[in-house]
Amino acid sequence: MGKFQIPSGLNGDGDVSRLVALARRISADADKVDAHLRENNLPQAGFEVDAPGDFPSLPADVQQSRQQIVHDALELGRLARGPRETVRWGVWNYLDTLSIQIINSFGIAKMVPIEHPIPLSELQTKSALSATSLAQALRHAMTIDIFCEPKPGLIAHTAASRLLAEDKALQDWAGFISEDVFPAGANVLKSLKSYPEATSLTTSGFNFAFNTVNEEPMFVTFGKDPVRAKRMAGAMASLTGGEGYEVSHFVDNYDLSDVDSAGGTLVDIGGSHGFVSVDLAKKWKNMTFVVQDLPKTVESAPKPISDDASIAQRVQLQAHDFFHEQPVKGADVYYFRWIIHNYSTPYAVNIIKNLIPALKPGARIIINDHCLREPGSEEPWDEKVIRGMDLIMLTLLNAQERDEEQFKELFRAAHEGFVFKGVSRSPGCRMSVVEAVWDPKPEVNGTAKAQKVE
């Protein structure tokens, strides 16, 4: 029985209620995490201003306990509230985003000294907000441990608010989600009612939010606004450094030894400033890399792309739009990280089709995206994040995350010459490696015959 089919588990074990069973498991897992931190002289989690911004790296079993605490604590809260109150206040949670949006957009966190509290009245004189609006935003944020009020009228940092003051990538993430995604999400209903097929890049919630319906996709809008484009890039950098999305999962676990031995080439399509290729080049010393993105992105990349000359000389930047034919012929690997999930099926199929004229037999196509599993089969917190990302794709681009069969269907629709090799995922990673190989049969009467996607 899947984890989402919960009626049989509602009574817990035997005569123990679900409420008590969850509380006991949280206590046991908390003891396990706490013991590991103490035994290894690692800092304890906390809300104080000097508390660590992230948990340290944990052994797999301790990490499992930590993640279980997160899930069980949320479930325990829902159980203690009851179904009606859970729904009532679930739709209220957008206000967390609103208070963070105000604080981040007006730069409030940077105005509060790290070392000591500041009177609310003094903070108000530094801000562009009225005393009432400032207090409303701050005191709501305090309910989720962003800022604190140690004495009436004195505002001080917590660990979370300090990060909003000091972590530029986190500021970008908060800005992108609250100022771009948040308004788009509020317009998804309008989008779905007007265009229920939800496949066009120009009829999404984002388009309705920013008055670009049937005019231009989100990426074109951002291309016209360097500030927003830079903020989105910073937000993606923040996410890439977050748990489960580290580039190291692919770099450390995907085997390119045969390509490296042959001095082969990997094409990093839509690869931004090449951070994945640079990390791969550090590991694989004989390969070359071509990083492709739109001209403005390529122009804004660091020069050189790496301070290590031996790496920089093997990583080439190239302007390319993947809706046009692939210009790099005969490469060994064509790699898409966080690209295909940005597009509904008609667009995604065309992206793959545009590779075909460049492909040699045996060329690998790698899609590094989420791959959805059966509902309830993920670790609960991972499920929440991945399903949330699926909705964000709908919100911004009328796109989607896909399951294995849907990835197979993309390759089938593109050409029968693609042989689907499968999906893999390293422990602790939320992203999967989806792989196909180009393996057409020999030409017959001038026409290439192909193997079917398995």
Q: Which residues contact 86 (CB under 8 A, 6 or more apart)?
A: 78
Q: Which residues contact 74 (CB under 8 A, 6 or more apart)?
A: none
Instruction: Tell me, yes or no, if 341 is annotated catalytic.
Output: yes
C-alpha pair distances (Å), 325 with each of 157, 316, 331, 335, 413: 52, 18, 14, 15, 17
- In whole angstroms, give the CA distance from residue 384 to residue 157: 29
Residue 21 phi, psi dihedral angles, 5° rounding: -60, -45
Terminal-residue alpha carbon distance, the chain: 28
Q: What is the CA radius of gyration of the chain?
A: 25
Asked if residues 164 and 171 have their Cβ atoms less than 8 Å apart, the reply is: yes
SS3 of the chain: the string is CCCCCCHHHCCCCCCCCHHHHHHHHHHHHHHHHHHHHHHCCCCCCCCCCCCCCCCCCCCHHHHHHHHHHHHHHHHHHHHHHCHHHHHHHHCCCHHHHHHHHHHHHCCHHHHCCCCCCEEHHHHHHHCCCCHHHHHHHHHHHHHHCCCECCCCCEEECCHHHHHHHHCHHHHHHHHHHHHHHHHHHCCHHHHHHHCCCCCCCCCCHHHHHCCCCCCCCHHHHHHCCHHHHHHHHHHHHHHHCCCCCCCHHHHHHCCCHHHHHCCCEEEEECCCCCHHHHHHHHHCCCCEEEEEECHHHHHCCCCCCCCCHHHHCCEEEEECCCCCCCCCCCCCEEEEECCHHHCCHHHHHHHHHCCHHHCCCCCEEEEEECEECCCCCCCHHHHHHHHHHHHHHHHHHCCCCEEHHHHHHHHHHHCCCEEEEEEECCCCCCCEEEEEEECEEEEECCEEEECCCC
Across-strand partners of 335? Answer: 268, 366
∠306-332-424 over CA atoms, to 5°?
90
Annotated active-site residue in 320, 341, 370, 415: 341
Active-site amino acid positions: 341
